[in-house]
Amino acid sequence: MEGELPRSGWREMALWLIRRRRLFRVTGDSMTPTLMSGAVVMLDPRAYRSRSPQEDEIVVTRHPRNTGLQIVKRVAAVIESRTESSAPSIRLILASDNAAAGADSRTFGPVALDLVLGKVVSCLRQ
């Protein structure tokens, strides 16, 4: 289930130039072996404007208990709850690839979609 992240090609770099991608440097080991500490990844901030996150995608989100902290995790499950009166609310169960090193939704619970900054689409440097 742990899909590899593609390397950033020319297209990704061009999208970064026109500000359609954001760069993030990864610190910590909870996403190894997919992302080593020090890796630089590209984030698509618009990925979830027109669709919901899917299982297995890697996202950057604010920590639910400490919104000043941005974390990178893999989507383990998507919970969609529908109510009659309002739009469906989407929450994500997030997991670390390296489960032994990481606390994730097992400790901080599901994460609301509005905390998600976008989808990690490629890896510029491993």
Partner 1 sequence: MFQEAIANLIAKTAVETVSAHCDGPCGVYDPASARIAAEAALSMTKKIIDLGPADSADHNTYGRFVAIKEQQAHLAKEELLILWTDYFKPEHLDEYPDLHEKFWNAAKLCSAVKQGVDVDAANDLMAAIEDIHNVYWATKGRDVAYYVAT
Q: Which residue in 91, 96, 119, 121 binds partner 1 (CB under 8 A)?
A: 96
Residue with smaller CB distance to partner 1, 91 or 105: 105
Site membership for partner 1, residue 125 (CB under 8 A)? yes
CA distance 17 to 88: 34
Record the tokens describing residue 74, joined without a space: 């893999």
- Contacts for 93-101: CB closer than 8 Å, 24+ residues apart: 94/59, 94/61, 96/30, 96/31, 97/2, 97/30, 97/31, 97/32, 97/33, 97/34, 97/35, 98/29, 98/30, 98/31, 98/32, 98/33, 101/28, 101/29, 101/30, 101/32
Residue with smaller CB distance to partner 1, 23 or 77: 23
Which DSSP category does 31 fall into? T
Identity at 8, one-letter amino acid code: S
Residue with smaller CB distance to partner 1, 50 or 53: 53
Q: Looking at 28-36, 45-53, 83-91, which segment touches partner 1 (CB under 8 A)?
A: 28-36
Record the tokens describing residue 78, joined without a space: 């998507």
Q: Looking at 33-41, 48-56, 75-83, 86-94, which segment touches partner 1 (CB under 8 A)?
A: 33-41
**Least spacing, CB of residue 73 vs partner 1, in Å:** 8
Q: Which residue in 52, 54, 66, 89 binds partner 1 (CB under 8 A)?
A: 66
Site membership for partner 1, residue 57 (CB under 8 A)? no
Q: Looking at 10-18, 48-56, 82-90, which segment touches partner 1 (CB under 8 A)?
A: 10-18
